[in-house]
């Protein structure tokens, strides 16, 4: 099947730093190694996780978030490690007491354009805070939507490049939870953000309310965040497949993908657990969609 850049087996991006990298960071902080020594440890860690993602079947590789300095330069290094698609996450512009959010919009837009020029296939905008706005004043909602829409609008990109938005619901939350009465806001969010796909953390494998998917406009792809990245217990394959079946009754199954609900960086698990989780995501994706990337 031709590669349609759907990235069925996805993940949010951040991975557990390996012990050798943690040790190198500690030694660097103590002055025992220089910046070059730290960079060598980072390079080795990134190479290892890129290979791990390839081996388990993840569609687009990330650097695990192990090094975030000048994003385009880091993307260029990641590009040298694999001929497969690569993915980079970019933090959304957000209001703060110390910076002008509109200036930050310009910075993020330039970062995204530089990433595309560096050969990045898939860019993820980390867009926190929306779920917390369900009961916020309309002006606050308008502000965040304006910032993110302004960041992403007008960016020229090859047809193969995908841009997604990860809608982090906050600590312990799930995007599909408690939207009753806020459908208009969610629908605005889905319609006004100029992205190809939404990464929505639903969490858990028990009863999940997918009704929010009815609000997704046709043509947009939804990545179902169904696998926990914070606990080591492995989800049941059949339950995950049943959830995708349920979601596909509300949105075309060709416009769905699967991922962990959050990043792994702060998860309470081992590297082996993390690998099993990502392998599970890839296995479920293959079972539901076949060998389509």
Question: In the predicted model, what is the mean pLDDT of residues 52-56?
Answer: 97
Looking at residue 197, which CATH number applies to its domain? 3.20.20.210
Q: Cα separation of 132 and 63, whole Å?
A: 29
Q: Cα separation of 263 and 278, whole Å?
A: 11
User: How many domains are there within the chain?
Assistant: 1
Domain interval for residue 104 = 56-289
Q: What is the pLDDT of residue 205?
A: 56
Q: Which two tokens stand for residue 282?
A: 């890839």
Question: What is the residue-averaged pLDDT of the chain?
Answer: 89
Q: Which two tokens stand for residue 21?
A: 């990298």
Domain assignment present for residue 27? The answer is no
Q: Is 160 helix (H, G, I), strand (E, B) or coil?
A: coil
pLDDT at 149 over 60: yes
pLDDT at 40 over 80: yes
- Residue 89 phi/psi, 5-degree rounding, is -95, 140
Question: In the predicted model, what is the mean pLDDT of residues 40-45?
Answer: 96
At 162, the pLDDT band (50, 70, 90 cuts) reads: very high
Whether residue 99 contacts residue 88, with contact meaning beta carbons closer than 8 Å, is answered with: no
- Residue 134 phi/psi, 5-degree rounding, is -55, -30
Q: Cα separation of 99 and 13, whole Å?
A: 26
Domain assignment present for residue 264? The answer is yes
At 2, the pLDDT band (50, 70, 90 cuts) reads: very low
Q: Which two tokens stand for residue 52?
A: 């791990």
Q: What is the pLDDT of residue 135?
A: 63
Domain assignment present for residue 104? The answer is yes
Cα 91-228-85 angle, rounded to 5 deg: 50
The more confidently predicted of residues 2 and 127 is 127
Domain assignment present for residue 127? The answer is yes
Sequence-separated (6 or more) residues with CB below 8 Å from residue 168: 126, 127, 128, 129, 131, 201, 262
At 102, the pLDDT band (50, 70, 90 cuts) reads: confident
Q: Which two tokens stand for residue 189?
A: 């969010």
pLDDT at 93 over 70: yes
pLDDT at 52 over 80: yes
pLDDT tens digits, 26-35: 999 999 999 9
pLDDT at 174 over 70: no
Domain assignment present for residue 199? The answer is yes
Domain assignment present for residue 26? The answer is no
Domain assignment present for residue 191? The answer is yes
Q: Cα separation of 133 and 141, whole Å?
A: 6
Question: Listing from the earlier edge strand, what are the strands of the sheet with 162-166?
Answer: 87-91, 122-126, 162-166, 197-201, 221-227, 256-260
Q: Cα separation of 90 and 104, whole Å?
A: 12
Domain assignment present for residue 39? The answer is no
């Amino acid at each position: 099947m031709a590669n349609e850049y759907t990235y069925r087996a996805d993940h949010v991006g951040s991975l557990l730093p390996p012990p050798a990298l943690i040790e190198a960071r500690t030694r660097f902080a103590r002055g025992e190694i220089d910046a070059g020594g730290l960079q060598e440890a980072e390079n080795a860690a990134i190479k290892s996780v890129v290979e791990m993602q390839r081996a388990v079947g993840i569609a687009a590789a990330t650097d695990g978030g192990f090094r975030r300095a000048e994003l385009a330069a880091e993307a260029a290094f990641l590009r040298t490690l694999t001929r497969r698609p690569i993915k980079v996450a970019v933090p959304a512009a957000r209001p703060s007491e110390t910076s002008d959010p509109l200036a930050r919009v310009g910075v993020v837009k330039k970062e995204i354009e530089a990433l595309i020029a560096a050969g990045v296939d898939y860019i993820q905008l980390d867009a926190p805070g929306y779920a917390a706005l369900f009961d916020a004043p309309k002006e606050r909602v308008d502000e965040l939507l304006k910032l993110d829409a302004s960041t992403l609008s007008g960016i020229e990109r090859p047809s193969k490049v995908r841009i997604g938005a990860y809608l982090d619901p906050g600590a312990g939350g799930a995007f599909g939870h408690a939207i009753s009465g806020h459908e208009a806001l969610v629908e605005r969010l889905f319609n006004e953000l100029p992205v190809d796909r939404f990464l929505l953390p639903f969490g858990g494998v028990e009863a999940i309310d997918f009704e929010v998917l009815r609000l997704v406009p046709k043509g947009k792809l939804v990545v179902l965040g169904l696998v926990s990245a914070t606990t080591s217990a492995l989800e049941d394959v059949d339950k995950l497949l049943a959830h995708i079946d349920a979601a596909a009754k509300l949105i075309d199954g060709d416009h769905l993908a699967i991922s962990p609900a959050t990043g792994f960086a702060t998860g309470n698990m081992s590297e082996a657990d993390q690998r099993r989780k990502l392998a599970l995501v890839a296995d479920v994706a293959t079972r539901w969609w076949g060998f389509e990337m």
